[in-house]
Amino acid sequence: MRVLRSGQFIVAAGLAVLFVGGCGDDDGNAGGADATEITVEAGDFNFKPSEWQVAADTDVTVTLENEGLNEHEWAVLTLGTEISSEDEFIEDIVELEIEKIDPDTSDSITINLPAGTYQVICALDGHFDAGMEGTLTVGA
Q: Which residues bind Cu ion (CB under 5 A)?
A: 72, 122, 124, 127, 132
**Preceding peptide of 9 cis, ω within 30°:** no
Q: Residue 124 or 138: which CB sits closer to Cu ion?
A: 124
87 in Cβ contact with 36 (< 8 Å): no
Backbone angles phi, psi at 49, to 5 degrees: -70, 180
CB of 102 to Cu ion, least distance (A): 12
User: How far is CA 112 from each of CA 58, 60, 116, rounded to the nearest angstrom?
Assistant: 5, 6, 12
CB of residue 66 vs Cu ion: minimum separation in angstroms? 9
Residue nearest to Cu ion (CB): 122
Nearer to Cu ion, 113 or 124 (CB): 124
> In the complex, what is the shortest distance from the CB of residue 43 to Cu ion, in angstroms, rounded to a whole number?
9
Q: State which residue, 56 or 94, has the beta carbon closest to Cu ion.
A: 94
Residue 28, SS3 per DSSP: coil
